[in-house]
Amino acid sequence: MRYKNQLNVARDISRYNENTKRLKRVRKVYRLPDHYDVSTTTTTMYDWAVVVEAYRRERIKPLIRRCASDA
């Protein structure tokens, strides 16, 4: 998949009396390195910034054992 590690950040620009949600793109699409898990992304909005956080993936490497050598 080409876009598996990308996210798009937008902020809500709708007015309080509107029923529809209007979003404005804050930044372009970011490409995250493979060691971040996109499913754990959280977005926090402030008056001065939009903070996007993503947690690292847990790498579970299989235990590699040496084979028994019969000499």
B/e letters for 4-36, b = 16+ CB within 10 Å, e = fewer, are ebebebeeeeeeeeeeeeeeeeeeeeeeeeeeb
Residue ranges of domains in the chain: 6-53
- Residue in 3, 52, 4 with CA at minimum distance from that of residue 25: 52
pTM: 0.40
For residues 21-34, give the mean pLDDT: 69
Q: Where is pLDDT greater, at 71 or 35? A: 35
Q: Is 25 in a helix, a strand, or coil?
A: strand
Q: What is the pLDDT of residue 2?
A: 45
- Please write the tens of the pLDDT for every residue from 37-56: 878 878 777 766 667 777 88
- For residue 35 the two structure tokens come to 């060691």
